[in-house]
Amino acid sequence: MYYIDPHVHMVSRVTDDYERMARMGCVAVSEPAFWAGFDRGSVDGFRDYFRQLTEFEPTRAGWSGIQHFTWLCINAKEAENVELSREVIAMIPEFLDRPGVIGIGEIGLNKNTMNESTIFREHLDLAMKTNELILIHTPHLQDKYRGTRMIVDMLLEDTRIQPQRVLIDHVEEHTVGVAREEGFWCAMTLYPTTKCTPARAADIIERYGDDRIMVNSAGDWGPSNPLAVPDFIQEMRRRGHSEAKIRKIVYDNPLEFFNQSSRFEFTPPDSAWDSQAADTDAD
């Protein structure tokens, strides 16, 4: 089955991971800007990171036939530095017209501080002024419930925001309802020990349905599995869910959400391979 991993930090992964993902059916990824494991010291550090996301990473993904899309921001952890955050937000428009950039993300909260909230609101303002989709990171562990409620509060206070253009990520059993009830999209992250397991993600689908929801690996430099979406597919099959239902969650839903971005130029896999074959024939 073809699938899309709508949240994976491929800059932290090796090229072999792209290849293994492609062999498992991955046809596209979207990569949000995130925390690199250390705080960057200047806006130029982010400028170089955005170049990597928009120039080299799509090329590297293409070596395995995977289409690469990206989101830009300063992440919630580094948003504690308000001065640097404002410099980065002012710089982001330099990259917004590049191919494959589909929105602002992953913005959000980390420790639910007022500085994080300030920068979150300023990211929302940028997204509204530039008509971008929004991808939101919700906090980890004990901070998640409070932070998700705070994020929804801030989204609702900005009357310009259209819920169907916002994706709230890393939802779990206690936050999926909070994210969905106001009409936002949401996503579940499949991690080995924190966030969701494939089985619990399948439980949430069975309980809340398959509309406006997707799953991702959020593979990065920490404990994570870039093949987690195929694990979810396998879990759903093991439970007897239809191929159409599974495909809706891992392929159709990401496409429906991403298609709202004018720069989401996706080539369906069959036509992509047909095109490659034609090129080969012409040689």
Peptide bond into 106 cis (omega under 30): yes
281 vs 170: CA distance, rounded Å = 44
* Least distance between another protein and beta carbon 199 (Å): 9
**Cβ count near 83 (within 10 Å):** 7
Q: Please identify, using beta-carbon distances, which residue of 66 and 178 lies nearer to another protein.
A: 178
* Least distance between another protein and beta carbon 106 (Å): 21
* Least distance between another protein and beta carbon 197 (Å): 11
Which pair of tokens denotes residue 10?
A: 């491929």
* Least distance between another protein and beta carbon 208 (Å): 8
Applying CB under 8 A, the residues found at the interface with another protein are 112, 117, 141-146, 149-150, 153-154, 172-174, 200, 203, 205-210, 238-241
Q: Please identify, using beta-carbon distances, which residue of 141 and 282 lies nearer to another protein.
A: 141
* Least distance between another protein and beta carbon 84 (Å): 23
Q: Please identify, using beta-carbon distances, which residue of 21 and 233 lies nearer to another protein.
A: 233
61 vs 114: CA distance, rounded Å = 37
Q: Please identify, using beta-carbon distances, which residue of 73 and 202 lies nearer to another protein.
A: 202
Q: Please identify, using beta-carbon distances, which residue of 141 and 244 lies nearer to another protein.
A: 141
